Each structure stands twice: as C-alpha cells, then as structure tokens.
A and B are shown apart, each in its own frame.
Chain A
Amino acid sequence: MASLPSTGGSPAAMANKLHRLLTIPWKREIAQPGLGLGLRFPGARSLASSVPTPEEAARFAPSPTPSKPEVEEEDSASTKGEEGTTVEEEDDGVHTNKLTGEVGGPKGPEPTRYGDWERGGRCSDF
C-alpha cells in the first residue's frame, strides 16, 4: 500500500473512519446472521450492495484468461485500432468471436469483462 504524506487533519483517522464506514455494514451482516430480514434466497448475501461478498468481488476482478493472451499478442500488434486478438474468424465478411461463438458482435476483448460495458475504453452501460 502506498503511504500518504500527512496533509494535516489526521488522514489516518479519516482513513480509519471511512474504512469503517464503508466496509463494516458487510461485516456486520456476516457476524449477525439472525437479523430477521426474512430473506428468502439461500446464501443470502450482504444488504450493502456496495460491499459485495468475495465471490462478487471476484466478478469485478479482471478475468485472467482473456487478458493474458491479449497482452502478449497486442504488445506486438499495431497500435492502431482497438481490434483485440481473441476473435478472429471472418465468415462472409461478418466476424465471429472464437471464444464465445458470437456472430457480428464487437471485436476485441469481451466488452463486459470488468462488469461494465466498454468499447475501446469508453463505458456505455453499467
């Protein structure tokens, strides 16, 4: 973790307060399962949508498989354009995604791999 220079006003105290404020709701829920929430779904998770369980967090983490081959191949690829390398068949001029079998879809890395929908870095839906 980077250490931050002190800017006055006790950033450590602020950090502790905010860390607690933003993360404790989840931990509280886990520690007190019997909150009588009447949850109907098995394995009911945290109510704080902002603080997901580790499984959910993993969903937001980059998926290693698509990114590694992209990095290797794209380092040597031309810098122009966004075309990634996981998709390549051309089929009557319409391209097909090798990984997913999608026809006519966006080329390049999977737009939703980090949770939001992105093309070339611009997010258009989340």
Chain B
Amino acid sequence: MAISLFDGSANLQCGWNLHIKKQHQHAAGLSSLVFKTGFLTDVTRLCAISSAAHGAVFRSVRAPVPKSISAARSARILCLQDDNSNTKYFDFVVVGSGVAGLRYALEVSKHGSVAVITKAEPHESNTNYAQGGVSAVLCPSDSVESHMQDTIVAGAYLCDEETVRVVCTEGPDRVKELIAIGASFDHGHDGKLHLAREGGHSHNRIVHAADMTGREIERALLKAVDDELNIHLFGHHFAIDLLTSQGNDEIYCHGVDTLNTETQQVVRFIAKVTLLASGGAGHIYPTTTNPLVATGDGVAMARRAQAVISNMEFVQFHPTALADEGLPIKPTNRRDNAFLITEAVRGDGGILYNQSMQRFMPLYDERAELAPRDVVARSIDDQLKKRGEKYVLLDISHKPREQILAHFPNIAAECLRYGLDITSSPIPVVPAAHYMCGGIRAGLQGETNVKGLYVAGEVACTGLHGANRLASNSLLEALVFARRAVQPSIDHMTRSSLGIHASTMWTRPVLPTSLESHTMQEILFRTKTTRVELQSIMWEYVGIVRSTSRLKTAEWKIGELEAEWEEFLFRREWKPMMVGLQACEMKNLFCCAKLVVSSALARQESRGLHYIEDFPFLEESKRKPTIIFPTSLKLTWSSQQAHKLAAGAPR
C-alpha cells in the first residue's frame, strides 16, 4: 500500500517512515489505530499512512492545507488518538504556555510530537505580564562573574552556585536565540542591544522591548509555535494531575490528565516526557500581580505525584500595590492583578503614613521612605498587622501638581477612575505577592525526582534565586532551563515506550454531572468564599513579617478550612474522583499554601524574603535550601490525585 501524505514531499515520507517504525513497536496489535494530525486552529484531520509491511492499517482523508504550513516542512507523526479522542498520545507534553513551556516545545518538536496544554488563552501567563526585561551579560565591560555576584548577593547567599554559574553563562546565548526566533528588543543607535540597569545589578544588562518585554517574548514564541507543525496547542485545558507509576523504587511520569473547560470533558494525555512550566501561585494571597491563572497548579500536581518541593517560604512581595479598599469608589470587580506603585514615587519624595496619618518609616529605618524595597515591605506589613488595617497611605500630594501628573500619569489616571486625586490625597497601598522563588526541586537539567518529569520557569526551584530573586532573572531562568531540559528529555523519550494499554492504567476523573444544578451552585459559591478565606489567612498569618506562633495559627486555620470545605463538598455527594475547574484550583491553592507555611516554619532564621520575628538574624548553619519530601501521612482529599491506579494495572 502506498503511503500518501498531504503534501507529498520526499522529506515528509522519510519522516513518516521513521516514525511509523518507532510507533509501530508500541502499537503492535492495534489494528484500528487511527493517526490524526492536529493543528493549532484545532482543525484535526486524519493523515494518511499505511504500511503493508508492518501489518497495520490506517484510514486517510485529504484535507486543505492551512496557509501557515510550508510545503517543505516535514511533519513527523504528530499524535495518536483513540476513537473517542479523550486520550491523546504524544512524545512530549508541556503544561503551561509561558516562555519556559514554549521555548522547550520549540526545541523538542524537532524530535517528536508535542502537546502544549494551557488552562486559558495561550498568552495568559506570568510571562505576558513580566514587562521589565531579561538579564544577561551582553556588554563587554560586564562579566558572568559580576552577574553571578549580583544574583548571589540578592539571593542572600542561598543560591546554588553551580546553577547561578550555568544560568549567567548560558544567558547571553539564550537571549540571542530569542532574537533569532523573532523577538524584537530595543537597540541603540549603534545597532547593539540597549541594556538597562535594574536594582541589584551592578551593570547595565537588562534586555527589553520598551516596557513590554514579556509580552514581546510571548508573542514571538507563540508565532514560532504556530508555525511548527509538530506542536499542538490545547488552550482551555486545565491540568488536573500527573499520571504516575512506581517501580524499582522510582516514580515515573507518563503524562497528565486534563479538563477541557470548554467542552467539560476529561482529556488524558499520555506522553513519554512531561514538562511542567505552569508558573506561579500568587493567588494564595489576596493581592497579587499575577494573572488569575496563577493558582500553583504545577507545584500542587507535582506534590501529589511525590515530587520533592523546595524553598516555598521565599515569596516575593512588592511593597506598594494600589489598595482597592482605600479608594473612594470601590471597583465593582475584584482586581485580578495588582497595580503596582513604583518606587519612584518614594524616590520623588512620597511619604508613607498609616491610617492615623503617622509617618512610620523612620521608626524602622533611618533612610525612611528611601530604605530598600524589602525593608519598606516589612515595615508596611508590620504596621498593618499591628494596627489591624488593610492598607497604608503613600502621599505625594505635597509635590507640585504638574510634576505629579507628568511623572505618574498612569497612577493619576487609575486613581481618578475611582474618585481619588493623587495631587491632593494620599494613595492607599498594600503589598502584593509577585513571585515564588521556590517550587519543584530541579537539577541542572530541569530534572526532578520523578522520572520523565522535567520543570522550568517559576514553577521550578533550580537554586538560581536562593532567598530572593534578582530583577529580570526570572525570564532568564525560564529560558536557560527550558533549553537545558531538552536533551535529557529527548534521551528519555528515546528510551521510553508508550505502552498500548497506558491509558487504562489509571481510573479516570469524572465530571460532577450527577450533581443537581443548585448543588453545584452552592459548591461553587462555597469554593469561592473558601478561596477568599484562604487568601485572608495567608496574608494575615503568612505575610512578610512572620512569627512561629502566627505560622502555627495559619497551619491550624488552613487545616480547618480545608477540612470544612472538603466536608461541604462530600456532604453534597461530591465524589473523590470528581473534578471541576474551581474545585481543582482550590485543591492546588490549599496545597501551595500549606507548603509555604511548613517551609516557613522549617526555616528558623531570617534570610532574604523570609523574615521571622523569633529568629530575626541569619544563621550560617541554616544556609541551606528547605526541602519538602513526599509524605503519605494524613492525606487530605486535596493532597491526593484525582485518579487511582486501576485494579490489575501493572505496578
């Protein structure tokens, strides 16, 4: 039988042949296996492959070729699907469509099929909001050693030196690759990249695209992904849990279950290699710069899959986000990602007051409002907790009106929308959670203790940031580790085989279709209020200035809240295998919150972002990462995967 391909190129034929052979070894015995190709527009087509020699028969259909695909492109076998398309088979699956996920996908797609799973629109990620820049040594007068030193100092000497060396050394090449992929950065008259300098850096080394660097990088990567046949983007697919098995004292990852939130169907992705690049968990706090998607899904899934987690106590806050509670006209909807008031307001003479109009910064630091950002953050946090208030006031109204409006038009406009004139009134501000320095513990290749599971970006704890992240190092970390995970992933993929019965190894999560609609409404409402309650506990007891007693209170309160929420659900006939977007996110938020609390309790010193009143000093003996190992003790529903190993499945 002839192999007929939709574009008929010779290269394509070779590619198909090679891959057929590989796939066939896995698909032996399956005579009705259907090969399908999927494209980014979600138009799936059947592609035609048949090989008499291998004894497998495949159906074929001709379909129009989308404009974006070049005829010369060689598409290896893109994916397998079973007939009801609720299980998909890929060589690689990537969770998250930010810079780490997309960069990785572009590389591994040269070696196999890739599914990129993202819970909302593909561009909706922390990357898109990272507007500052990418740091890299790109100037002759700069040096890797200098970048390393700045990173390690900022990280309060908790960074892993080898990781820092690797990232600072490989950074420049990764930036150049981004440019080659199509990202467009600002340059100088001489045609060279324009490099800015941010706080903590001793050289100009921030590459940027005006003030929308993250967005520009995301745009360029999405375009490249769009052009790449081997990559299939599945938007609105929420990742539920990793599919894992145990053997030889190791844990293996075989893919991920997802919930298609548009069709309300569970879709199982079986893959030889999984990359988690799902970003941060800002929404464990009430005020955060992170978009709504950042609910710590990756860390939680990895935790449930027995991955090792590290350094979760190091949460970076910005001291002065606009506090909606203090605005004369309250916004009708809760703001999803915080409006940060720049340090420039303080630099220009802005004064911080508590709500009794007492200037408090001089109590904490002789530099008053010009003290470094984390001192200011701690001072504000301390004032708020001691006084039981929700915000402090940043007053610039004593400066000339024209100057205020010229320097800070964005703040002026935003505040005016809600009835506040910053030229005559102080601005209500509160600290906002911004970045998680900790996450899934990763080695230098992005590998984890779970075989076949790799991590990159904010979800990972690579040792780069230590106890505090240096500005613009996060995009850099994502780029470097996404790239480093590529070869090990390929090697792992080559050694792995997709068991033909893989998809049946685990039971499937189910939708709560058996529940009455009014019951679902009650559950949704209760989940919403539970989330707000959790955020409130985190801010109140696990904020910037911590104490053992408040952390223990948080531990207890979160435990109670979780138990009450789970009971509420189960009382209404919610079953353990049921999944829904809000419920799953709530599980993940609980998981991440608990990890932050236990990590904070474990570090009995103050270092970087973790400040604890009972241990206010650095302790050299404690200069090591916080590691959280898997536990099988007292597992709540939130701590368990939504599937189980099926009875009779090979273990």
List residues of A whose CB falls within 8 A of some B CB: 1-2, 4-5, 7, 11, 14-15, 18-19, 21-25, 28-29, 35-37, 39, 41, 45, 47-52, 56-57, 59-62, 67, 70-71, 74-75, 77, 79-82, 84, 96, 100-106, 109-126
Contacts and interface: CB of A to CB of B under 8 A. Distances in A.
Nearest to B192: A101
B360 A4 contact: yes
14 contacts: A22-B375, A37-B623, A45-B153, A47-B607, A75-B400, A106-B211, A109-B407, A112-B132, A114-B347, A116-B199, A117-B198, A120-B411, A122-B411, A125-B130
A115 B131 contact: no
B407 A19 contact: no
Given A18-B382, A51-B375, A61-B347, A121 B411 contact: yes
Contacts of A106: 210-211
Interface in B385-421: 386, 400-403, 405-412, 414
Is chain A's interface secondary structure helix, strand, loop, or mixed overall?
loop
B395 to A, nearest CB: 12
Interface string B429-444: 0000010000000000
Interface in B448-507: 467-468, 471-472
Nearest to A39: B157
Nearest to B193: A102
A114 B343 contact: yes
A115 B347 CA distance: 10
A35 to B, nearest CB: 6
A104 to B, nearest CB: 5
Nearest to B471: A126
Contacts of A101: 188-190, 194
Given A111-B211, A115-B343, A11 B363 contact: yes
B641 interface: no
Given A23-B365, A117-B131, A61 B370 contact: yes
A37 B11 CA distance: 59
Contacts of A74: 402-403, 406-407
A18 B132 contact: no
B372 A57 contact: yes
A18 to B, nearest CB: 5
Contacts of A121: 341-342, 344-345, 407-412
Contacts of A39: 157
Contacts of B250: none
A116 B157 contact: no
A1 B362 contact: yes
Contacts of B154: 49
A60 B346 CA distance: 10
Contacts of A80: 405, 409
Contacts of B198: 112, 115-117, 125-126
Interface string B546-584: 000000000000000000000000000000000000000
Nearest to A29: B618
A62 B401 CA distance: 20
B620 A122 contact: no
A118 B406 CA distance: 13
Interface of B: 129-133, 149, 152-157, 186-190, 194, 196-200, 206, 208, 210-211, 318, 339-348, 356, 358-360, 362-365, 367-368, 370-375, 378-379, 382, 386, 400-403, 405-412, 414, 434, 467-468, 471-472, 606-608, 611, 613, 616-618, 620, 623
Given A75-B403, A96-B189, A62 B358 contact: no
Given A18-B364, A82-B406, A126 B210 contact: no
Contacts of B364: 15, 18-19, 22
Contacts of B402: 74-75, 77, 79
A-B pairs with lowest CB-CB distance, top 5? A125-B132, A115-B199, A121-B408, A118-B342, A120-B410
Contact of A19 (B347, B365, B608): B365
A109 B344 CA distance: 10
Given A11-B363, A116-B373, A121-B407, 11 more contacts: A4-B363, A15-B363, A23-B365, A49-B468, A61-B347, A62-B344, A103-B188, A111-B211, A117-B211, A117-B471, A124-B130
A52 to B, nearest CB: 6
A2 B411 contact: no
Contacts of A14: 363, 386
B214 to A, nearest CB: 8
Contact of A62 (B153, B347, B400, B412): B347
A105 B344 CA distance: 19
B314 to A, nearest CB: 11
B322 to A, nearest CB: 9
Contacts of A82: 406-407, 409-410
Contacts of A104: 186-187, 210
A70 B382 CA distance: 35
Contact of A37 (B189, B344, B359, B620): B620
A38 to B, nearest CB: 9
Contacts of A48: 156, 606-607, 618
B401 A79 contact: yes
Contact of B372 (A51, A71, A81, A124): A51
A102 B191 CA distance: 9
Contact of B132 (A21, A45, A126): A126
A7 B389 CA distance: 15
Contacts of B149: 41
B375 A125 contact: no
Nearest to B466: A49
Given A18-B363, A21-B616, A28-B617, A124 B211 contact: yes
Contact of A100 (B188, B356, B618): B188
Which interface residue of A2, A41, A113 has the most chain B CB atoms within 10 A? A2
A57 B344 CA distance: 14
A50 B617 contact: no
